[in-house]
Amino acid sequence: MLSSIISSSLPVSALLTSLLFSKDASAEILQSVSRAETAFNTLQTFYNSSNGIWNTCGWWNGANCMTVIADLAVLDVSVRATAIDVFNNTYTVAPGVNPNPGVEKVSGASGVPETTYTSLWPLAPLTDLFAKPGTVNASLWLDGYYDDDAWWSLAWIAAYDVTGNEDYLRLAEGIFDGMTKGWPTNCSNGGIWWDSTKTYVNAIANELFLSVAAHLANRAENSQYYINWAKKEWAWFAASGMINENNTINDGLTTDCKNNGATVWSYNQGVILGGLVELNKASPDPSYLPAATKIADAAISALTDSNHILHDPCEPNCEPDATQFKGIFMRNLQLLQEAAPSDTYVQVIQASANSIWNNDRDKSTNVLGVDWAGPFVEPADASTHSSAMDALVAAIVAN
């Protein structure tokens, strides 16, 4: 029964494999899998196959919906066929709803320009704006906000991890290439801007730039190119002042390049963790995991309640962007947990997942809300739901 959850052909971690075959953990793991599968089925009630994203949430949130589906599909064979259909369809049609396509031209600096590739899985084009058979046109996925671009790059990397489809990896590389156009800012001549109009230097775009580069370093042929970018970004980011005296990360920099003191959002404490874990895999350095651990521990002190459940300061009235944040933290905390295990991380992941299921679920629809401690409150949508689902997926592995 347990072996049906995983497939031997997939890059399931040794940790997960050992957990799945440990008797003590098995009942809990099966319960976590069952909750995540329920959440997946509910998430798909929002999926719009005409436009490839999820009704009730926006463009960049769609990338995060796809990522959590991929993260579950790596672990759970029973959802994989549906997940693969979603990737295939979204790849073809979602560019049609990009709010601002092609803002950053992909120049081909990394060898991934607007080029035609032979596709393993030819796609059916709907209009000229959609993906053409056998082509990878990363410009279609760029919208002028480098963080949005990066979410899609990570989503296609996650889809690549499930499928091995090289088109997805090339698309992720092409999107990264577009992001390099945001480098450097006018703060210490490094980092990327948040946006192509250069209005703001912030944490999320820079953490994502590091994370995408580090993920690609472990997957793409040109590994050293991506390692160099990830290291350059980390050197700049660590010295940028965005990591404050408490080891939490504020939102961004002022126009004179000082920490702007803006909100310590959960996702800004999260993306950097996965980025450093991936960078440490690609190019080990004894400082990376301790740096990540320091940030994770500080974030947990700052953002969890006395029951170890994660919160963002905006709850329960978060903007539609912020409803996505906590799941992103969880997804990345789980990556750190695999690389640098800690009972505290397991406790936060399990407590959050259990509370989501017991206290933050609409019992009639199984839709999950924004306040993980509960009670369930409207509005609950594909963003609140997919974010909470990230915690349910992390709970499968964090034991």
Ligand X SMILES: *[C@@H]1O[C@H](CO)[C@@H](O)[C@H](O)[C@H]1NC(C)=O
Interacting residues toward ligand X by CB under 6 A: 48, 50-51, 55, 84, 88, 97, 101-102, 114, 121, 123-124, 135, 137, 139-140, 186, 198, 244-246, 255-257
CB of 244 to ligand X, least distance (A): 4
Q: How far is the CB of 198 from ligand X (least distance, A)?
A: 5
Neighbours of 307 (CB within 10 A): 13
Toward ligand X, which CB reaches closer, 34 or 78? 78
Sign of the CA dihedral 239, 241, 245, 248? negative
Choose between 18 and 120: whose C-beta lies nearer to ligand X.
120
Q: How far is CA 373 from CA 22, 324, 354, 357, 369, in A?
A: 30, 16, 9, 10, 10
The SS3 assignment for 53 reads coil
Query: What is the three-class DSSP state of 250?
Result: coil
Q: Which residues are bridge partners to 54 per DSSP?
A: 47
SS3 87: helix
Question: What is the nearest approach in angstroms of ligand X to the Cβ of residue 45?
Answer: 10
List b or e across 359-394, with b for residues whose CB sees 16 or more CB atoms inside 10 angstroms: bbbeeeebbbbbbbbeebeeebbbbbbbbbbbbbbb
The residue of the chain with the least Cβ separation from ligand X equals: 102
| Nearest-approach distance from CB 116 to ligand X, in angstroms | 7
Contacts of residue 19, defined as CB under 8 A and 6 or more positions apart, other chains included, come to 25, 29, 397, 399
CA 352 – CA 337 distance, rounded (Å) = 15
Select 114 or 315, whichever has its Cβ closest to ligand X: 114
Q: Between residues 38 and 51, which has the closer beta carbon with respect to ligand X? A: 51
Closest residue by Cα to residue 305 from 373, 392, 395, 375 = 373
Mark 108-141 as b/e (b = at least 16 C-beta within 10 Å): eebebbbeeeebeeebeeeeebbbbeebbbbbbb
Q: Which is nearer to ligand X, 123 or 389 (CB)?
A: 123
- Shortest gap between Cβ of 143 and ligand X (angstroms)? 10
Least distance (Å) between residue 9 CB and ligand X: 15
Closer to ligand X by Cβ: residue 31 or 115:
115
Q: Judged by CB, which is closer to ligand X: 17, or 258?
A: 258
Using the minimum distance from each CB to ligand X, give the nearer residue, 170 or 331: 170
Q: To which H or E segment does residue 148 belong?
A: helix 146-163
* Residue 367 main-chain phi, psi, to 5 deg: -75, 140
| Residue 122: CB minimum distance to ligand X, A | 6
Please report how close the Cβ of residue 246 comes to ligand X at its closest, in angstroms.
4
